[in-house]
């Protein structure tokens, strides 16, 4: 048993405070916006120059000058703002975002992240990945706990090209919630159906336990 | 003062062989399609301008805009952050055949390098790319206990950008997220060429609303019914 992508996104959304400025990476992390707890409203930032954008418009209502970094059509919420790219990345690198939530190929216990390249084949493309890992007060990763072949994605050292060094602070996986503290994985929550030994066997570096491990309980979505 | 020019062909006449050209837009938003296709028309008719270095966030999509420039063989080098798109064939084919050079730059670094070029700042330090392969060969320095990578300014011979309103002095406004790189590129190019949805008299744009002041703009041409790249591509693939 493991969490679905929607359930991982739900869990990550529970940690976003009301009024937080948040950047969600392209693709899977965008799902986090759907699961904000009621009574909380985060302000979402997109690299191409919008603060406080909302969900996609109805089909046929798209305005292609109003898109997010994934080049999908979006809408505006009251209080939105437009700005140019240098201001946008000043918000990123300048420490103004509260949270960035990104996908990952690998995360090392040192907080190193690999999420932009699977190696030298094909056309390389980086976009804003290397900028987003710097500056946000919390840089969180959401990911399956293991690869499609069952290999650990949480490792001692990344084997793929790095996006950033020592940048990740928390990882939400399909099995657990893990913090990175002093270059070690610290287990905070795990699925109650899984033993610590079973989880450790699926993890490429040692999981430290400090105090109680909370049951990772996520609703059916 | 009047920076307006009569037509698109006149507007892009300043682009020479071997030029470095910044082109505004992020995906389809802000892409100056009519200026780009005027450049392509001139290349088809005269064989010039070729061997261009093009600076944009992306490397074209489908078979129009920057992708069409690449297809024509006008582009020797792309400087961009993300040379992928819903249909990246034009760039991918040339790149894998070794017929086009790529300088891959993280998106925020690309924006700041362009801003620095326009602001007279030859180099700066950024945390972005530290410890990665994109920092290879670049000077690193420590500030307040963290490591930063030195990056250099980017400048261009010409910038091609799309604005919403322009007045005859070159003061510009933009439409929604079509702004993206354009205000930076307007600063960083020796000659900035603008296609505007409408050209108005000086004073018709409230000074409080001006995003790019006219000092950064050289040539303005009106394109009232401009195409939107993303909309064109979606029609083509519908």
What is the pLDDT, as a whole number, of residue B231?
Answer: 87
- Residue B132, in any domain of the structure: no
**CA distance, residue A70 to nearest chain B CA (Å):** 9
Residue A77 tokens read as 């919420």
**CA distance, residue A161 to nearest chain B CA (Å):** 7
The residues on A that touch B, with CB distances below 8 Å, are: 46-50, 63-67, 71, 82-86, 88-89, 92-93, 112, 122-131, 134-135, 161-165
What is the band of B237 on the pLDDT scale with cuts at 50, 70, 90? confident
| Structural domains counted in chain B | 1
Picking from A25, A213, A193, the residue whose alpha carbon sits closest to that of residue A101 is A25
What is the pLDDT, as a whole number, of residue B129?
Answer: 98
User: Looking at the annotation, which residues of A are catalytic?
Assistant: 47
Q: Is the pLDDT of residue B238 over 80?
A: no
What is the band of B234 on the pLDDT scale with cuts at 50, 70, 90? confident
Cβ–Cβ gap A64/B182 under 8 Å:
no
- Residue B63, in any domain of the structure: yes
Burial A66-105, CB ≥16 within 10 A → b, else e:
bbbbbbebbebeeebebbbbbbbbbbbbeeebbbbbbbbb
Other C-beta atoms closer than 10 Å to the C-beta of B238 total: 5
What is the band of B45 on the pLDDT scale with cuts at 50, 70, 90? very high
- Residue B133, in any domain of the structure: no
CATH number of the domain enclosing B120: 3.40.1080.10
The rounded distance, in Å, linking the Cα atoms of B201 and B223 is 16
Domains of chain A: 5-215 (3.40.1080.10)
Cβ–Cβ gap B228/A65 under 8 Å:
yes
> A-chain residues within 8 Å CB-CB of B176?
63, 65-66, 82
What is the band of B75 on the pLDDT scale with cuts at 50, 70, 90? very high
- Comparing alpha-carbon positions, the chain A residue that sits nearest to B128 is A131
**CA distance, residue A56 to nearest chain B CA (Å):** 15
Contact status, residue A92 vs residue A135, Cβ threshold 8 Å: yes
Picking from A128, A209, A127, A108, the residue whose alpha carbon sits closest to that of residue A168 is A108
What is the extent of the structural domain holding B19? 8-124+150-237
What is the pLDDT, as a whole number, of residue A127?
Answer: 95
B151-203 pLDDT tens trace: 999 999 999 999 999 999 999 999 999 999 999 999 999 999 999 999 999 99
Contact status, residue B52 vs residue B83, Cβ threshold 8 Å: no
B210-219 pLDDT tens trace: 999 999 999 9
What is the pLDDT, as a whole number, of residue A37?
Answer: 96
- Residue B102, in any domain of the structure: yes
- Residue B173, in any domain of the structure: yes
Which one of A86, A125, A134 has the shortest CB-CB distance to B128?
A134
- Determine the length of chain A: 221
What is the band of B128 on the pLDDT scale with cuts at 50, 70, 90? very high
- Residue B130, in any domain of the structure: no
What is the pLDDT, as a whole number, of residue A122?
Answer: 87
- Residue B230, in any domain of the structure: yes
Cβ–Cβ gap A127/B83 under 8 Å:
no
**Inter-chain CB pairs, A–B, below 8 Å:** 143
- Residue B138, in any domain of the structure: no
**Residue-by-residue pLDDT tens, chain A, 221 positions:** 899 999 999 999 999 999 999 999 999 999 999 999 999 999 999 999 999 999 999 999 999 999 999 999 999 999 999 999 999 999 999 999 999 999 999 999 999 999 999 988 889 999 999 999 998 999 999 999 999 999 999 999 999 999 999 999 999 999 999 999 999 999 999 999 999 999 999 999 999 999 999 999 999 99
What is the band of B236 on the pLDDT scale with cuts at 50, 70, 90? confident
């Amino acid at each position: 048993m493991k969490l679905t992508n929607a359930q991982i996104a739900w869990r990550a959304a529970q940690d976003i405070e009301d009024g937080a400025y948040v950047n969600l990476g392209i693709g899977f992390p965008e799902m986090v916006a759907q699961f904000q707890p009621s009574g909380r409203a985060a302000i979402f930032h997109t690299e191409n120059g919008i603060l406080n954008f909302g969900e996609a418009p109805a089909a046929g209502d798209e305005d292609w000058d109003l898109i997010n970094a994934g080049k999908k059509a979006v809408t505006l919420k009251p209080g939105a703002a437009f700005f140019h790219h240098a201001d946008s990345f000043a918000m990123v690198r300048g420490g103004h975002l509260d949270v960035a939530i990104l996908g990952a190929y690998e995360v090392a216990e040192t907080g190193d992240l690999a999420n932009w390249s699977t190696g030298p084949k094909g056309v390389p493309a980086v976009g804003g990945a290397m900028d987003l890992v710097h500056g946000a007060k919390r840089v969180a990763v959401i990911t399956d706990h293991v690869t499609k072949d069952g290999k650990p994605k949480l490792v001692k050292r990344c084997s793929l090209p790095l996006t950033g060094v020592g940048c990740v602070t928390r990882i939400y996986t399909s099995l657990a919630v893990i913090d990175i503290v002093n270059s070690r994985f610290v287990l905070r929550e795990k699925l109650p159906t899984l033993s610590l030994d079973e989880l450790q066997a699926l993890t490429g570096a040692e999981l430290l336990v400090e105090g109680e491990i909370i049951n990772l309980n996520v609703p059916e979505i | 003062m009047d920076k307006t020019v009569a037509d698109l062909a006149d507007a892009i006449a300043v682009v020479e062989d071997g030029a470095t050209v910044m082109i505004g837009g992020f995906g389809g938003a802000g892409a100056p399609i009519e200026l780009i296709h005027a450049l392509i028309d001139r290349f088809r008719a005269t064989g010039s301008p070729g061997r261009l270095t093009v600076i944009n966030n992306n490397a074209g999509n489908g078979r129009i805009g920057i992708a069409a420039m690449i297809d024509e063989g006008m582009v020797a080098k792309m400087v961009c952050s993300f040379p992928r798109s819903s249909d990246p064939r034009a760039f991918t084919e040339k790149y894998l055949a070794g017929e086009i050079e790529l300088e891959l730059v993280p998106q925020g670094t690309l924006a700041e390098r362009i801003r620095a070029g326009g602001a007279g700042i030859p180099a700066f330090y950024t945390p972005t790319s530290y410890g990665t392969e994109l920092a290879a060969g670049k000077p690193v320095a420590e500030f307040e206990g963290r490591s930063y990578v030195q990056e250099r300014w980017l400048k261009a011979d010409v910038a091609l950008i799309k604005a919403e309103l322009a007045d005859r002095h070159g003061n510009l406004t933009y439409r929604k997220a079509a702004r993206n790189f354009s205000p930076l590129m307007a600063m960083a190019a020796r000659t900035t060429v603008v296609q505007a949805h409408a050209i108005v008299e000086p004073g018709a744009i409230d000074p409080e609303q001006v995003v790019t002041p006219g000092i950064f703009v050289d040539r303005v041409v009106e394109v009232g019914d401009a195409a939107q790249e993303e909309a064109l591509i979606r029609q083509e693939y519908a």
